[in-house]
Amino acid sequence: MEKTINEQTTAQVMSPEQFLEHYQGHRRLTKKVIEAFPEREFFNYSIGGMRPFSEMVKELLAIAVPGLSEIVSGTASEFNEHRDYGSTKAEFLEKWDKDTEEINQLWSKLSIERFQEIIKLFGQYEGSVLSNLQYFVDNEIHHRAQGYVYLRALDIEPPFFYDRA
Amino acid sequence: MEKTINEQTTAQVMSPEQFLEHYQGHRRLTKKVIEAFPEREFFNYSIGGMRPFSEMVKELLAIAVPGLSEIVSGTASEFNEHRDYGSTKAEFLEKWDKDTEEINQLWSKLSIERFQEIIKLFGQYEGSVLSNLQYFVDNEIHHRAQGYVYLRALDIEPPFFYDRA
């Protein structure tokens, strides 16, 4: 029993393009959360000894483009969540937008065959390309949600969770 | 150009079984977060006017099995995040485990062709089966992360985010 590629490709749980759109939708929401923070609290506010939201965003930036670059190029890189992006929200947002474009470029070089390939990202995270990319998204949702609590504690209404426009 | 099904199915971004395992891995972590809460604070503690973690868990329980049942059966149901699961953590955990099994059963009835089908879940959430199921997982990560902040504020170490065992 054989089917053509066209017939078979209709039966995908998720296409690479859908995965990218899902990721970028979440990144658009994270951008709104950064924007919702007052300038000072973005860098200083925290609860329960956790990091300020700016430090969590540094982690997200350290994962997205560097991780995807490594996946696409196969060239190992070091994980560094302490890079300096400046001391203003505007600088973080500029970096965020730049990385949005870079992610789109890198993703377009990722063939569907790659997703099940086992890699060891940043020299330490072993798993499929799929599971690593899922971690990128899940980890962003996780830390952004912590930003939601910070905003609520600051009496600021966060964006709707389902707003990915 | 034709490929056999076997050749083509190797090039899946994510199989239905991988999606289920991803979801259940997150559900195992959420269970650990429920367990980490002190009995009283699970029902009463909150920050910034948000809901106690037990109320968020009620939302997760209202989505998972009822939503998946509707997707599998095609029979519309009402979204109800105020169901009574008892007044102890033990009762919530018992329900959680019961739903773990039900999710496995329901998922096994979901053919790969269904994921791209457009549905209107709970009579209001229109989108593909894929996007609805992604929402189940993302929403759980989101609210669980809020539980992480509650635990940190209570000076309790939450489980590692990557612990899905």
- A134-162: per-residue pLDDT in tens? 999 999 999 999 999 999 999 999 999 99
Contact state of B138 with A13 under an 8 Å Cβ cutoff:
no
pLDDT tens track of chain B, all 165 residues?
444 544 445 689 999 999 999 999 999 999 999 999 999 999 999 999 999 999 999 999 999 999 999 999 999 888 999 999 999 999 999 999 999 999 999 999 999 999 999 999 999 999 999 999 999 999 999 999 999 999 999 999 999 999 999
Q: In 3D, which of A9, A129, A12 has the Cα closest to residue B130?
A: A12
Which pLDDT value is given to residue A77? 87
pLDDT of residue B16: 97
**How many CB atoms are closer than 10 A to CB A161?**
16
Question: How buried is B19 (Cβ within 10 angstroms: 0-12 exposed, 13-18 middle, 19+ buried)?
Answer: buried
Chain A residue closest in CA terms to B143? A145
Task: Quote the pLDDT of residue A85.
Answer: 97
User: Nearest by CB to A14, which of B1, B14, B148?
Assistant: B14
Q: What is the pLDDT of residue A10?
A: 59
A7 falls in which pLDDT band (50, 70, 90)? very low
- pLDDT > 60? residue A5: no
Put simply, the answer to whether A13 touches B11 (Cβ < 8 Å) is no
pLDDT at B7: 47
* Radius of gyration for the alpha carbons in chain A, expressed in angstroms and rounded: 17
Helix/strand/coil for B118 = strand
Measured between CB atoms, which of A11, A19, A144 is closest to B112?
A11
Higher pLDDT, A149 or A1: A149
Under CATH, to which class is B14-153 assigned?
mainly alpha
Residues in CB range of B154: below 8 A, 6 or more apart: A48, B38, B41, B45
> Which value does ipTM take for this structure?
0.94
Q: What whole-number distance in Å separates Cα of residue A118 and Cα of residue B116?
A: 26
**B116 contacts A12? CB cut-off 8 A:** yes
The confidence band for A1, taking pLDDT boundaries of 50, 70 and 90, is: very low
pLDDT at A11: 87
Is residue A54's pLDDT more than 60? yes
B88-121 core/surface letters (b: 16 or more CB in 10 A; e: else): ebeebeebbeebbeebeebbeebeeebbbeebeb
Confidence check: pLDDT of A110 > 70 = yes
Residue ranges for the known binding site of A for a divalent metal cation are 143
Mean pLDDT calculated for residue range A42-66: 98
Where do the domains of chain B lie?
Answer: 14-153
